[in-house]
Amino acid sequence: MKILVTGAAGFIGFHLCKRLLELGNDVIGLDNLNDYYDVNLKLARLNILKEFTGLSFDFIKGNLEDKELIISSFKKFKPKVVVNLAAQAGVRYSLQNPDSYVQSNIVGFLNLIECCKDNNIEHFVYASSSSVYGGNTNLPFSESQNVDHPVSLYAATKKSNELIAHSYSHLYKLSSTGLRFFTVYGPWGRPDMALFLFTKAIINNEPIQIYNNGEMIRDFTYIDDIVESLIRIISKPPNSDSNFDSYFPNPSSSWAPHRVFNIGNSNPTPLMSFILAIEESLGVEAKKIYLPIQPGDVPATSANTDLLEKWIDYKPSTTVKKGVMNFVNWYKSFYEI
């Protein structure tokens, strides 16, 4: 199968591309290689994917906002499935640079889904985020819950993606699946995420900053479990739900060929337990600075993944202890520590 993956040099995109290539798919990877975090890490990921160049991997450097590039890429490579993982990431950065979120996450998203519509794409899979649950405090978060109260611009752009995708599914019968990722971690992870920041600081004998005085809970989800879920999702485009009740509409379903799923571990972990796993993996106790919660952040996330597990017959199983250890081992190897 020929699959276009945007954000191919990103954390999740790299792992997904690598797995798709190993399974014998033809993959077109698109990424702008921006400097939101260390470009060298992105290039190192990309170099691994380029080992498949000439066999089953083609790379396009560019932005989703470049409409002509997206149109020409579809004409040249003729993908059958599109997985959109490209986005301006980060909740906190959206407070500093809101324009980049609108351009990448909304304008870019529209350019991409327009091409999907015009080129009869069989399945459009796109990254949403657990951040869409915003002000909700009813845990675990379920797809049937209202998500109309975002607490960051990043979350608002992801909710916009879901609304745009649903409208295209309705108008053009474009099968599309949105995935609300819950705190993905693992080897090759992003340097702006807690696991990377904490590991680096502890190794360098620097204090770690712990927000909300450590009273945080996250549904940490290991990258291999995410990729296995994505592989299964790609091969199962949604159809119209004949049981959809328009008098009592459930946000988790639709008469259109569109679905939104939580994709998490469904085993929420206190932040301090996560930090303990890092300390045990490194054999060092962290120096800690406790701070108030940051604007745009939420104290707890927890995923109800019943719908996804039923849809793809798979449940993530990697423990935090094992996942953190795998990351620490990768970090030491990559940075030659």
Catalytic residues: 154
Half-sphere exposure in the Cβ direction for 69 (13 Å, CA): 13
Q: Residue 332, CB half-sphere, CA atoms under 13 Å: how many?
A: 11
CB-count exposure of residue 189 (10 Å: 0-12, 13-18, 19+): buried
Q: Is the separation of the CB atoms in 143 and 261 below 8 Å?
A: yes
Query: Is residue 170 within 8 Å of residue 256, measured between CB atoms?
Result: yes
| Side chain identity at residue 96, one-letter code | Q
Nearest of 245, 294, 264, 36 to residue 11 by alpha carbon: 36
Q: Identify whether the C-beta of residue 35 lies closer than 8 Å to the C-beta of residue 100.
A: no
Residue 2's CB: how many other CB atoms inside 10 A? 14
Task: Let me know: does 312 contact 233? Beta carbons within 8 Å.
Answer: yes
Strand partners, 261: 179
Q: What is the bridge-based pairing of β-strands 176-181 and 123-129?
A: parallel
- Is residue 220 within 8 A of residue 183, CB to CB? The reply is yes
The CA-based angle 152-156-159, given to 5 degrees, is 140
Sign of the Cα pseudo-torsion (213, 128, 16, 101, in order): negative
Angle between helices 11-22 and 223-234 (to 10 degrees): 60
Q: Cis bond leading into 251, ω under 30°? A: no
Look up tokens 């604007």; give the residue.
Answer: 295
